[in-house]
Homo-oligomer: A and B are copies of this chain.
Amino acid sequence: MTIANIGVLTPRKQEILDAAKKLFSSKGYVAASMRDLAKALHIKPASLYSHYPSKDEMLWEIAIRCAKEFHEYVLPLAKEEASVVERLDRMLRAHLHMIIKNQDASAIFFDEWKHLEEPRKSEFGKQRDIYEQAFIDVINEGKAEGIFRDINARFTMFTLLSAINWVHKWYRPEGKMSLQEIEEEFSKILIGGLRVGR
């Protein structure tokens, strides 16, 4: 199963998946029971099994679709015609956008996927690797051009994404900072810190 050939779901299947996504991201996969999910959908727990054969299968369907969203929204930016700095900046902003606009997906993409059972967990890991590698590649480009300091690209990728990922743990839309402000600050601190020549 690759991201490319993820099929379309029955409307009802989609509804159930949406409810599960919301529940898993708010309570955590382990703490959220099938009975909780059934209650949210106003059906009986056993009815869920008419649509999905197991809880793990549901988590998988959710996780792989979250991965797809991140991939499709962020990765094309790596190959646009623009400078390295500009492309990395765009990628980080897009990544931030995804996190803020789609907080449920973020929680799954960053935290809950670890509860997948094998071999799905490994399969998901491969998709994460692809995503992270795209950032590493751009950072390495910047190093080769002498624009970024001589730095471990993988380490840098972790640092950048980690700083941004945490946002979904504290950001609330009604809070004091607007999305645009957050974008600008990240761009200054993170990209700023990367550049040589200070």
A155 to B170 Cα, complex, angstroms: 10
Task: Contact check, B152 vs A162: say whether CB atoms are below 8 A apart.
Answer: no
- A151 at the A/B interface (Cβ < 8 Å)? yes
Task: Contact check, B158 vs A170: say whether CB atoms are below 8 A apart.
Answer: yes
A195 nearest CB neighbor, chain B only = B198
- A73 at the A/B interface (Cβ < 8 Å)? no
Task: Contact check, A198 vs B189: say whether CB atoms are below 8 A apart.
Answer: no
The winner among A28, A155, A165, A191 for most chain B CB atoms within 10 A is A155
Task: Contact check, A156 vs B189: say whether CB atoms are below 8 A apart.
Answer: yes
Instruction: Name the B residues within 8 Å of A195 (CB-CB).
Output: 198
Q: What's the nearest-Cβ distance from chain B to residue A104, in Å?
A: 17
A176 nearest CB neighbor, chain B only = B152
Task: Contact check, A159 vs B189: say whether CB atoms are below 8 A apart.
Answer: yes
Q: Which of A49-57, A87-95, A180-188 is the interface stretch? A: A180-188
Instruction: Name the B residues within 8 Å of A162 (CB-CB).
Output: 162-167
A176 to B30 Cα, complex, angstroms: 33
Against B, the Cβ 8 Å flags (1 = close, 0 = not) of A31-43 are: 1000000000000
Task: Contact check, B158 vs A166: say whether CB atoms are below 8 A apart.
Answer: yes
Contact with A159, one of B155, B163, B191 (Cβ below 8 angstroms): B163
Q: What's the nearest-Cβ distance from chain B to residue A185, in Å?
A: 6
A40 to B77 Cα, complex, angstroms: 49
- A22 at the A/B interface (Cβ < 8 Å)? no
- A190 at the A/B interface (Cβ < 8 Å)? yes
- A192 at the A/B interface (Cβ < 8 Å)? yes
Q: Point out residues on A near B: beta carbons under 8 Å.
A: 28, 30-31, 149, 151-152, 155-156, 158-167, 170, 176-177, 181-182, 185-186, 188-195, 198
The 5 closest A-B pairs by CB, nearest first: A193-B193, A162-B166, A189-B193, A163-B163, A192-B193
Kindly list 14 other residue pairs between chains A and B, CB separation below 8 angstroms, not including A30-B31, A159-B189. A28-B30, A151-B185, A151-B188, A151-B189, A152-B177, A152-B181, A155-B177, A161-B166, A163-B163, A189-B193, A190-B193, A191-B193, A192-B198, A193-B194
